[in-house]
Structures are given as structure tokens and as C-alpha cells.
Chains A and B, each alone.
Chain A
Amino acid sequence: MANLMMEPVYERPAALEDRATHYCPGCTHGVAHRLLAEALDELGLREQTILVAPVGCAVFAYEYFRIDGCEAAHGRAPAMATGIKRVLPDRTVVTYQGDGDLAAIGTAEILHAAARGENITTLFVNNAIYGMTGGQMAPTTLPGQKTTSSPFGRNTAQAGFPLKMSEILAQTPGAAYIVRRSLHDARHINQAKKAILTALRVQQAGLGFSMVELLSSCPTNWGMTPLEALRWLESEMLPAYPLGDYQVSEAVRALGG
């Protein structure tokens, strides 16, 4: 019995700092952070990884991980990561980006990083809104979704349609591994973790660009409780952004797992 009590079953990953984050209660950014930290620990990558944080709610991400990190300009994380990776090819370089960062202002940088087969891993947190600036319309905002800059609901005739970045990036030959997962319940969180592990292994093996899109919640700017937000994610975002594997190259398949 005494032995059993010594056995920790849940602890802070070594790759996470022991520090309170500034994320709102119930925000799934925290879940995404934990998954990345666990994956880095499990692969023994903490001491050789460099994180490139975005401009967005995750702007302080480089402070929350116990790894080397930096803070890119809005949308430019894939370019900055490219510069780092090219001069440190044996290190693991990860960008962590929101949907405004990756799918609006930084569309060119992510598309060309994927096209080059840049050996980096991107965690793409899609919460269908601009969190940091207070809930404006994102490129991923759903038709009809109300935001502070689409107060009558996103009118596609005026504001166009959502971008499906995993589907788009999967078309580039340089992309080795592109999948979409969700953070709305424990089962899906486990699947997301597995995908992050695979993406990091793809990078370690030098197989090309890897990205895990994570459907994520923003209770604050959606105007919901954390639980309502997870339900809304499941009922509204999942049909618009189907989960699945959009690119798994032959070489990645051969990696197994």
C-alpha cells in the first residue's frame, strides 16, 4: 500500500514551467500546451526543442514551456521557424499558431513552409475566432457565427467563406503529415496527443512538414460557459471541420505508430 502511494499517476510534464498561465478558465489552449509538453517529454526532446510562439492568445507560450523559445511577429512563425531550423537542422522546431495567425495574416508563410517541406511541426489551434483582440471574425469563423466584427453573423456574401487549412496544406507535396483533431472531450484529447507524437516523430525522421490542427474552444469570446463551449465545438465546428488525416505520406506510414 505504502508503495502504491509513492507512485505518481499524474504530474506536471518536465517540459512545462511551474507557472500559472493567463488563459481564461476552460480555454483549451491549456490542454494543447499540456499535450505538447507530454509529447516532448515522452520523446525525450525537451532539451533540443525550440518553440516559436505566435501573436494571439498563445503569445506567452514561450514562457510556459521549459524549453528554448521565441516570439514571432503575427503570422510569421513558419518563416522564423524556417530560419531557426535551417541553421539548427538537428533540433526540433515547433510553431504554435492560432487561426488568425496562421490562416489570415500568415497564410503565405505557412503555405510556403509546407510547400518547401520545411522540417518543422506546427500546432494549429483553430477556435474560429480572434481570441486575443477580443472576439473578432477569424478566417475560420463559421457562416452565421456572431463575432464583434460580424455582429449580425458572418455573412458569406460580404465576408466570404471559412478557410479549411488542413485540406489546403495537404495539397502541397512538401507536407508529410497533416491531420485535424479536436480537444472537446477526453477521447479526442487522447487522439490529439497521439497525432502530436506522430508529428514530432515525422520531424525527427526528417520526413517534411507536419501539422496538427486542433479544434479548440474560446468560451470567453464565444460568450459561453466552458462546458457550453465544448458542446458548441462538437455540434457546430466538427461538421464544418471534419476530423481526419488529410496527408499521411508513404514515409510517415512506414514510421508506424
Chain B
Amino acid sequence: MSRELLKGNVAIAEAALRAGCQAFFGYPITPQTELLEHMARRMVELDRVFLQAESEVAAINMVYGAACAGVRTMTSSSSPGYSLMQEGLSYIAASDVPCVVVDVMRGGPGLGNILPSQGDYFQITRSAGHGDYRPIVLAPATVQEAIDFTELAFDLAEQYRHLVVLAADGQLGQMMEPAELPSMRSLPRTRPAWAITGAAGRAPNRISSLYMNAEEEEAFNLRIQARLAQICAAEQRSTEVQATHAELLVIGFGTAGRIAASAVEQARAEGLRVGLFRPQTLYPFPAERLSALLACCAVQNILVIEMNAGQMVEDVRLVVAGRVPVHHYGRLGGVVPYPEELYTVIQQHYPSLAASAE
């Protein structure tokens, strides 16, 4: 395999089918559309299922059906379309079937615009539909990571029989950079034992999200919670730059985290003890590592940078629990911050500089 110049949306699509995605259902929306278009061509070439649905509502329910039938399946959309999928996501989560959903986030609320945003953090990590559950959420920051996390998404979905959301944004979806694709995995010849495939020579399989009795529904919910506890223990992922030597720890995910990395580099070149912590899983939030950094290192101040009005910062504050001050800097509505801009913000929050300014 070799590195090639790939657009984020295309890379995710190609990585998905190489990871064994057998059925894609979707509806066009910018800035995600190239993903669907790539699938439209490649899935047909590979004699797999591609279908453009009449809406995101239909698309997610088609995914639900294909997942119940035991194949690797996915859909992708952008913020307004992701909103429309909430009902289906909740049914999927309540049926213990694996599936992968990509949200290439754009500016909102409402129709908003087609520019990069991280405004869906709450919706993706907290309220992916009604009821009491959380999806696994992976947040890539580079095209290579988008590829790797797409593969990982299918594997985690299958391992835990759980919903996995890839939280991308318009910048990652649209940009091109060199990356390496994985080789094509062969498709399984059999379907999982729980799948609905026709009750030939066995008792019927039934997949439903309905528990009329409160105790049974509670028992089912407790099973979800037990699975989430397992996921929290095993699947927290993050990456960092000089975080163990930082007095100011900058935290950002996805595109914001990537831009923050440039600003952190500049600050370090200027002699400031600044580090970066970039969550790669938004759920489970990498609380263990962040907590360890606070316990062992010199962090005096935290600066969370997001392309929203302050969403992940709530998860950060839950972990920090008042141990050090947590600040937030956000650009909203599709504005992508510049590294120089973030460098200025870093200077403002750097402990000794901040103190001298006061």
C-alpha cells in the first residue's frame, strides 16, 4: 500500500467498503455528499448495496433493517440530516445491532450553512435519539485518522453490537491530504446467529426495542449500561503533544484540535510550556488520561478550543472537577479559527502571562 492524495469524504467511503461495509443508504447533503457519491459508484462496482433514500429518516431505517439482517452497514450525513436520524438511531441502539453513522458537521442551528462546525457535539455524544444510552463516538482530525477510525468504527460496532458515530466536520470532509488506505477485507460468508435471515431449521429470531413491562425495560437498560461501562473501561482514546510538561494544557478534538496543535507548536517555539490533549473518542471521553495528567503533571490552567459555543468543555469540567481553572475559546457558525488567532488566545491564558496581565 502507498500514500495517495485523498479527500476526507472519499477516504471515509473507501475505508468503509474496504472494512467490509456491504450496504450503504444515504441522502445527499453538503459537505458530506462526496461520501455518498463515492459509494454510489464503488458499491455498485463491487456488487454490494447502495441506495439513495428519500430522506435521512428512511436512510437510517434502511440501515436498521440491513443491520438486523446481519451485514456491516452505514449511512452518512451532515448536521440537519443527522437530526432527522435521531428516531432511527434510538431504535438501533435499543435493538443491540451494530451500525456506523458518519456526521460531517456543518454550521447551524437550522439550515445554517455548509461550513465546518463542531456544533453537534451534544447531539452526537448525549442525545443520539430518545432514551438512556450513548453511542461510541470517534473524532478524527486528519484524513489518515478518518480512514483508521472508519475501520475501527465497524470493528467496535460489531464487537459491542453497538452504534458507532464518526464525528467529522466539513473541513475534514472536504480537505485533501496524503493518506494510506487499508487493503480490502474479504466479506464474511455467514451472518451472525442473532440476525433475521429466515427461520430455516432453527427457532425464529426476533429483533425489537419493545419492553411493555417496566422491570424488563429496566433490565434491558441495565444491560446497555453494563456494556457502556465495559466500553468506558476499554475504549478511551486520546493523543497528546508535550502534555506531561505543560503548565497550560490546550484541549480540542477533530479539526479544532488539529489547528490548536499548530498554535501549541508555535507557543513552545516561543518557550511557553504549553501542551495539547486531543480526545479521539468523545464517548467514552478519555477521562482517565486527562485525570492522570492533572494528577502527575504541572498543569495549572486548561484552555478548551472548539468550533462551537462550549460543548466538550462540559466533559472536561466533569473530569477536572475544579482542580484547575478551565477556559473555553469557541468559534461559531462555520468559522474555522486560525493558528495565529489561537496562539494569541494561548498567550492570554498562559499562567505567568495571564497573571502579569492582571
Q: Do B199 and A79 touch (CB < 8 A)?
A: no
Q: Do B58 and A87 touch (CB < 8 A)?
A: no
Contact with B along A81-109 (1 / 0, CB 8 A): 11111111001100000000000000011
CB distance from A169 to the nearest CB of B (A): 14
- Looking at A50, A53, A92, the one whose CB has the most chain B CB atoms below 10 A away is A50
The contact of A68 among B206, B209, B210, by CB within 8 Å, is: B206
A163 at the interface (CB under 8 A from B): no
B196 at the interface (CB under 8 A from A): yes
- Looking at A49, A63, A84, A91, the one whose CB has the most chain B CB atoms below 10 A away is A84
Q: Do B49 and A68 touch (CB < 8 A)?
A: no
The contact of B204 among A60, A67, A71, A108, by CB within 8 Å, is: A67
Nearest residue (CB) in B for A62 is B206
Q: Do A112 and B54 touch (CB < 8 A)?
A: yes
A80 and B199 in contact (CB under 8 A), knowing A87-B22, A87-B23?
no
CB distance from A204 to the nearest CB of B (A): 13
Comparing B61-69, B295-303, B345-353, the segment that makes contact with chain A is B61-69
Within 8 A of A (CB), among B189-205: 196-201, 204-205
Q: Do B68 and A70 touch (CB < 8 A)?
A: yes
Q: Do A68 and B199 touch (CB < 8 A)?
A: yes
Q: Do B199 and A109 touch (CB < 8 A)?
A: no
- C-alpha gap A66/B201 in the complex (Å): 12
Interface size on A, residues (CB 8 A): 37
Nearest residue (CB) in A for B198 is A48
Within 8 A of A (CB), among B18-58: 22-23, 25, 49, 51, 53-55, 57-58
A76 at the interface (CB under 8 A from B): yes
Q: Do A76 and B68 touch (CB < 8 A)?
A: no
Nearest residue (CB) in A for B207 is A70
CB neighbours (8 Å) of B159 from chain A are none
A87 and B54 in contact (CB under 8 A), knowing A47-B199, A50-B198, A67-B198?
no
Q: Do A71 and B55 touch (CB < 8 A)?
A: no
Which residues of A are in contact with B by a Cβ distance under 8 Å? 46-50, 52-53, 59-60, 62-63, 65-73, 76, 79-88, 91-92, 108-109, 111-112
Contacts A66-B199, A70-B207 aside, 20 further interface pairs with beta carbons under 8 A come to A47-B198, A50-B198, A53-B208, A60-B210, A69-B196, A70-B68, A71-B210, A73-B64, A73-B91, A76-B61, A80-B64, A82-B62, A82-B65, A83-B25, A86-B49, A87-B23, A87-B66, A108-B54, A112-B53, A112-B58
| Complex A-B: 10 CB contacts under 8 Å | A53-B208, A62-B208, A65-B204, A68-B198, A72-B61, A76-B87, A79-B59, A87-B71, A91-B197, A111-B54
